[in-house]
Structure 1
Amino acid sequence: MANKEILLVVDVFSNEKEIDKEIVFQAIESALETATIKRHVNQIKVRVAINRKTGDYLTYRQWDVVAANPQLDGDVEFPTTQVLLEVAQMDNPNVKVGDVVEEEIESVEFGRIAAQHAKQAIIQKVREAERKKIVDAYKSRVGELVTGVVKRVEKGNVLLDLGGHVEALIARDDMIPREAVRVGDRLRGYLKDVRLEARGPQLFVTRTAPELLIALFRLEVPEIAEGTITIMGAARDPGSRAKLAVRSHDPRLDPVGSCVGMRGARVQAVTNELAGERVDIILWNPSEAQFVINAMSPAEIQSIIVDEDKHSMDLAVSSENLSQAIGRGGQNVRLASQLTGWELNVVDASKANQNSEAEIQKVTRMFVEQLDVDEDIAMILAEVGFNSVEEIAYVPVSEMLEIEGFDADLVDELRSRAKDALLISAIAAEEVIETAHPAKELLEMEGMDNELAYELANQGIITMDDLAEQSVDDLLNFSGMNKDRAAKLIMKAREPWFA
């Protein structure tokens, strides 16, 4: 059946919507199939094939080839869409179960299709194609700045018109708090996600991510775009304050001054774009302690205690600078922590000094007692950072030789005494354990027997409180212990806590 009107419709939709002609052909085929099915009382399967060059189209009725069903006396379950294998093989001996057989039937006229249905089918296909086209065009741009005009504001969510019938959503959580936005305003944002969805916007933009701050500085500072200056990290409290760490690959170039710009022009441009958000430019440093000091600007840090195991630092500041170091609501220390990746604790310098002196005195007394050395040597060890006998016994000799006034003989003697002290301590601890007796309350506890009680005592679990502090896994190593018994014993030992 020839139909030049089909070719005309395809050309019009394809040119106006800038989509592939094949998509429009498929939409018309779908509309013709639906119209054909509606002409029949029973639900049938139909396929329409349009000649892409002439506009001719043929209609085929389809059946699925199935094996005989014994429960239906060798018949099929759905006679309008299924055919038995034996019947199908009468026309084509090569047909197998699972194949589809077709028979040409009369085609409906294109002009007589239910107009609304055909229109909706074509428009739906066109919309799907347009949405896929947008996703394909913007998928490679995730992580870039996008600029658009505010089209609509609904319950804090902002719809941006990016041009070319492309829209992006800035969710309420991705908007800068208390930022006044009106329809028609031009906004920049960071494209964080692009995904194909059935309805609504498919491009998702944020104005709160640290990446937006980085992208804006890359736009404003040519040295960053050129690679002479590198942004090492960023942290934001959106709409209030931010910190940006930078470094220069050219020793003659000041990275902080370059980002600030003449009379603050560059940083002010970023601040204006981010609803007045104040930005501190921080000089990055390969020394993590110095980087933390820089990140805490404008507060002055008097001393730092680093805990590598907990990945934290205690920062001592003077009493008058304490509030500045912490910031309003802990903002300054929180941003510095995010920027550096360290857990930062701000303490009063005077109290820190007192605690430090007390700790040094405590460690000094311990060294005097356990190493049998005079107080001067013990204090030197404490002041340079030694906190235990184990450190002295096993720290590399080279590190101890760096201590002023220490020679090889003194270092060897100190290490030897430290190892002897550790050995004596271990022997004493073992003797205590071997002679340990369980407390009466542990022996008499419900569910406990003498053998287990003494076994626990030999491992240092002497009282009910000791047992209450254990976990189920801790007790599984003991003889005759399973998870249920371990759990019951622990809960029994903890009953006095709750009482």
Structure 2
Amino acid sequence: MAITSANQLELLQTAEAVAREKMIDPGLVVEAMEESLARAAKSRYGAEMDIRVSIDRKTGKATFTRVRTVVEDEELENYQAEFTVEQAKQYMENPEVGQQLVEEVPPVEMGRIAAQSAKQVILQKVREAERDRQFEEFKDRAGTIINGQVKREEYGNVIVDVGAGEAILRRNEKIGRESYRPNDRIRVYIKDVRREQRGPQIFLSRTAPEFMAELFKMEVPEIYDGIIEIKAVARDPGSRAKIAVISYDGSIDPVGACVGMRGSRVQAVVNELQGEKIDIIPWNEDQPTFLVNALQPAEVSKVVLDEEAGKIEVVVPEEQLSLAIGRRGQNVRLASQLTNLDIDIMTEEQESARRQAEFELRTKLFMDNLDLDEFFAQLLVSEGFTNLEEVAYVELDELLVIDGVDEDTANELQARARDVLEARNKAHLEAARALGVEDSLIDFEGLTPQMIEALAKDDVKTLEDFATCADWELAGGWTTVDGERVKDDGTLEPYDVSLEEAQDLIMTARVMLGWVDPADLEADAEEDGEEALAEEEAEA
């Protein structure tokens, strides 16, 4: 193909046609053409030459130029695209380093291979421009619902035409029993929009909890207006879901508003989600109350909350156990996701048996270690004592209130408990030293001998080792994997060390080692205090 004989306006007409089809700037297509022609020219004049092509935006005329740059003598590397100051004097007056000499060169004859290469460059540039345009259009629409049309299915993934490009609904983001055919209309949630080198950039979902929340927002005007808020959503897509709602207007029932007249509002959402059953429950800032609501329709007898561990025990009547757990654990699993709590459900009989077992275990602890008879040991347990530390270091008055315990008896009890604990501590420290624990960790305040031995078994043997620990490695924590809460056990968790206590201990160690300036901690504390005060004033 000879550029010299081509219709010059044809370039512009082609650029405009491609731009209209792909909905991109015609200038980007022209730039792609310029680059493709420049590559073809380099194959004719030499790859090392700096050949550039400029297409006139009005006439379509393509101008080919060779560019050479003036460089220092010692920097001259490419003799085809660079020349020295001395060499440049032949072409320009008083040349300076960095100046460029632009010379027009004859257009090239493009063979079949060069033409094909140029076409590939144009297609690549057009695709890049199209993807950039698509990303810019959708990057701020993540978290919203969009209607699309099914184009095709690839390996279980559905490719959806969303008007300005293609998006993908992955297999694991489809509701289980859904199937689609080309040209089907589909409503989807834009889960993520991100730049990718290849493949789709818009990722859709119909299983995301946020999809259900957005559907309710569309059906319930009070949610759209902010009068009602969806606080949490838990889903078993296509089967069952729970949503927690709260009303900021005392005259509006949040559950009733979401259900609608004769269930019209919730039914619209159910129909969109292929019959997924939805429990709408009132949200409550009191976690036990919220959990009781979340376990509906089961009736709950009692709730015991361990806030530090994020765990809760629920006691239900025997006949309510299967209802509380649900089919294949569905009800309790959804309630756990909704409340963000680890839930342990037991019957009243099971709780009674567990309490009896704990009572017997603590009774035996006091009998074996304090040399007490069964009656006296049971008396201590009944008064709320659970371990030797409580007996050893409690205020004497708390022992004296027990029937039959005078001052001498109380002193003797504490002396026995302290002797046992001191012997244990000595054994723990000896074991820790045998494992290689250094004195820097043994002398660190805030850690008991039992804790030090536990740390040593976890390969934490110096103060430096301890200072590099994360708070959750010590106190334990929870992570969410595939929608399920997974427990991470902490080294010091058996000793009731909270996350806050772990953070304080770690930071103290870092200060002692000189890793952290105490002044910085004080400044951070003041800043946090000011922010908290500002938030309180804003709420007021």
- Give the alignment's TM-score, normalised by structure 1: 0.72
CA contact (8 A) 2:392 2:415 kept: no
Give the TM-score normalised by structure 2: 0.67
SS of the residue 2:275 aligns to: coil
Where 1:150 maps in the other structure, the secondary structure is strand
Alignment partner for residue 423 of structure 2, among 391, 412, 432?
Answer: 432
Shift of 1:210: 0.7
Q: Which residue of 1 aligns with 2:144?
A: 144
* Corresponding residue SS for 2:162: strand
Where does residue 26 of structure 1 map in the other structure?
31
- Please give the residue correspondences for 1:15-414 in structure 2 after superposition, counting only pairs within 5 Å: 15-40=20-45, 43-63=48-68, 78-84=78-84, 86-88=86-88, 91=92, 93-96=94-97, 99=98, 101-108=100-107, 116-164=116-164, 166-357=165-356, 359=358, 381-382=383-384, 387=386
**Post-superposition offset of 1:270:** 1.4
Native 8 Å contact 1:271 1:279 kept in 2: yes
Amino acid at match of 2:35: S
Separation (CA, whole Å) in 1 of partners of 2:427 and 2:160: 75
In structure 2, what residue type is equivalent to 1:305? V
Larger Rg: 1
Q: Deviations over 1:291-327 (max 9, x none)?
A: 1111111111111222223210111122222222112
Distance in structure 2 (CA, Å) of the matches to 1:209 and 1:419: 60
Q: Distance in 2 between the 1:31 and 1:156 partners?
A: 37
How much does 1:174 deviate?
Answer: 1.2
Relative to structure 1, the CA distance from residue 13 to residue 460 in structure 2 (aligned partners, 3 Å threshold; closer, same or farther) is: closer
Distance 1:437 1:331 in 2: 44
| CA distance, structure 2, for counterparts of residue 194 and residue 422 of structure 1 | 67
Classify 1:329/1:419 alpha carbon distance in 2 versus 1 (closer, same or farther; 3 Å).
Answer: farther
AA aligned to 2:129 is A
> AA paired with 1:348?
T
**CA-atom RMSD in angstroms:** 4.7
Q: 1:41 to 1:358 in 2, by over 3 A?
A: closer
Contact in 1 for aligned 2:233/2:338 (Cα 8 Å): yes
* Structure 1 residue 53, shift from structure 2 partner: 4.5
Question: Using a 3 Å threshold, how does the CA distance of structure 1 residues 120 and 252 change in structure 2: closer, same or farther?
Answer: same
**Aligned to 1:286, what secondary structure does the other structure show?**
coil
SS in 2 for 1:27: helix
Determine the structure 1 residue equivalent to 2:537: none
Name the CA distance, whole Å, in 2 between partners of 1:219 and 1:110.
Answer: 60
Question: Is contact 2:63-2:107 (8 Å) kept?
Answer: no
What runs of 5+ residues in structure 2 fail to find an aligned partner?
Answer: 443-447, 464-540
- For structure 1, the residue ranges without an aligned partner over 5 or more in a row are 398-409, 478-499
**Whole-angstrom CA distance in 2 between matches of 1:423 and 1:93:** 99
Q: Which residue of 2 aligns with 1:400?
A: none
Instruction: Name the CA shift for 1:62/1:147 in 2 (closer, same or farther; >3 Å).
Output: same
Please show how residues 472-483 of structure 1 align to structure 2 within 5 Å: 473=459
Q: Report the AA paired with residue 80 of structure 1.
A: Q
Identity over aligned pairs, percent: 40
Distance of 1:437 and 1:9 partners within structure 2:
83
| Structure 1 residues 362-382: Cα deviation after superposition (integer angstroms, max 9, x where no partner) | 769999999xx9999978854
Partner of 2:457: 471
Mapped partners of 1:238, 1:429: distance in 2: 56
Partners in 2 of 1:183 and 1:433 — Cα distance? Answer: 73
Q: Does the CA contact (< 8 Å) of 1:313 and 1:342 recur in 2?
A: yes
- Give the CA deviation at 1:288: 0.2
Deviation at 1:246, TM superposition (A): 0.8
Q: Distance in 2 between matches of 1:350 and 1:389?
A: 29
Task: Work out whether residues 325 and 332 of structure 1, in 8 Å CA contact, stay in contact via their aligned partners in 2.
Answer: yes
Structure 2 residue matching 1:39: 3-state secondary structure? helix
Residues 1:167 and 1:54: Cα distance change in structure 2 (over 3 Å): same
Instruction: Tell me how far 1:123 sits from its aligned partner.
Output: 3.8
Question: SS of the residue aligned with 2:45?
Answer: coil
3-state DSSP of counterpart to 1:232: strand
Cα deviation for residue 354 of structure 1 reads: 2.7
> Where do 1:433-472 residues align within 5 Å?
470-471=456-457
Contact 1:35 1:108 in 2 (8 A): no
Equivalent residue, structure 2, for 1:490: none
* CA–CA separation in structure 2 for the residues paired with 1:149 and 1:393: 73
Deviates more, 1:143-152 or 1:353-362: 353-362
- Give 1:59 shift: 2.4
- The 1-side partners of 2:345 and 2:27 are apart by 66
Q: Report the counterpart of residue 513 of structure 2 in structure 1.
A: none
The alpha carbon displacement at 1:473 in A equals: 4.4
Contact 2:146-2:189 within 8 A present in 1 as well:
yes
Q: Secondary structure at the match of 1:253?
A: coil
Deviations 1:241-283 (A, max 9, x none): 1111111112222211221222322222212211222111121
> 2:428–2:453: 8 Å Cα contact kept in structure 1?
no
- 1:468, 1:392 → 2: CA distance? 24
Report if the CA contact (8 A) 2:391-2:417 is conserved.
Answer: no
Per the TM alignment, residue 423 of structure 1 is displaced from its structure 2 partner at its CA by 6.1
Quick one: distance in 1 between partners of 2:298 and 2:305? 18
Flag the 1:157–1:122 CA change in 2: closer, same or farther, 3 A. Answer: same
